[in-house]
Structure 1
Amino acid sequence: MALANPRTLFLLAFLGCLALMGGALYLEHVVGLDPCPLCIVQRVFVILFGLVCLVAALHGPQRGGRRGYAALALLMAAGGAGTAARQVWLQGVPADQLEACLPSLEFMMQALPLQEIVSLVFHGTADCAEVTWTLFGLSLPEWSLLAFAGMIVFSLYQLLRRG
């Protein structure tokens, strides 16, 4: 049985990222859910994963190049999964044990050094732990974690396949 063309698979992964971002933007602008800083970081990882897949699809590399793109995509997916897992964990922490809120990400980008921004964002707040929307009993960070798990499986498949 012939394996699917790697170029086509990278293109499909890119289209999947477009669908994820479309859903996120729909929930933000139509439903009215404001993304917390951890949500924004997850969006950045989805975009980076999608861009790696788009470049790989356009380039159509041979085996070594495909593995390079897959490794880079795996890093983006793992970063996103780690961020989503942190937010899922925060949702299990009692709200009184978390800080009330953070300044906006735009303000932090202008006023603070990068390492402090990263520390504050990943420390998390009650805003990041609040479950404001669910689908089939899963919160947005849980759905995000599932999407990143799929991206990891895809990347590993592209990385380890023989064809």
Structure 2
Amino acid sequence: MPLTFRSACLLGFLACAGLMGYALYAQHVLGLEPCPLCILQRMAVIATGIVFLVAALHGPAGFGRWVYGGLATVAAAAGAGVAGRHVWLQSLPPDQVPACGPGYEYMMEAFPLTKALSMIFTGSGECAEVDWQLLGLSMPWWTLFAFIGLALWALVAAAAARHRRA
């Protein structure tokens, strides 16, 4: 039985829900506090998941599938960009790591959005810390791989379903 666009999008949504579930587990059970870049990656996972869920519920035909596939790809690409920046910060030598800055919530409340985002993307010492690894790779590496997979999944779902009805 071939995979339909709706079921492919539902699987994409479930993957995003699983990623968020593990992020919350890591925070609340393992005690790993997310840095500002981690929070932005979570927002990208949520945005990608929302696009997949809406696409699954809507089940468009034709060009609409490409619209949802494109939106999910853009959201995942944004997350991949943030994850890539995070990986880069973690690869810096200790003497080149930026000083620790204020937390995400404080920056968003105390500064204009453009200034807060600039500060977040500059990174801070807390973003360069590696406090979790799997197979020698930090969590930002794994989220980078996940975002790439989600973007490809969105495009494959849109392309593969073009000749079939939902």
Tell me, yes or no, whether TM beats 0.5: yes
- Structure 2 distance, partners of 1:150, 1:3, is 20
- Structure 2 distance, partners of 1:97, 1:136, is 26
Q: Look up the match of 1:8.
A: 7
CA RMSD of aligned residues (A): 1.1
- Structure 2 distance, partners of 1:99, 1:92, is 12
After superposition, give the CA deviation of every residue in 1:66-118 in whole Å (9 maximum; x if it has no partner). 11000000000000000001100111111221222111111111110111111
| One-letter amino acid matched to 1:24 | A
Residue aligned with 2:29, SS: helix
Q: Look up the match of 2:152.
A: 153
- Structure 1 distance, partners of 2:25, 2:46, is 16
Q: Look up the match of 1:104.
A: 103
Residue aligned with 1:34, SS: coil
Residue aligned with 1:31, SS: coil
**Which has the higher relative contact order, 1 or 2, with Cα contacts under 8 A spaced 6 or more apart?**
2
Give TM-score, length-normalised by structure 2.
0.94
Q: Look up the match of 2:48.
A: 49
Give TM-score, length-normalised by structure 1.
0.95
State the Cα distance separating 1:133 from its structure 2 match.
0.6
Contact 1:95 1:126 in 2 (8 A): no
Structure 2: segments with no counterpart, 5+ residues:
none
Q: Look up the match of 1:69.
A: 68
Identity between Structure 1 and Structure 2 (%)? 52
- Structure 2 distance, partners of 1:128, 1:143, is 15
Structure 1: segments with no counterpart, 5+ residues:
none
State the Cα distance separating 1:159 from its structure 2 match.
3.7
State the Cα distance separating 1:3 from its structure 2 match.
4.2
- Structure 1 distance, partners of 2:12, 2:157, is 11
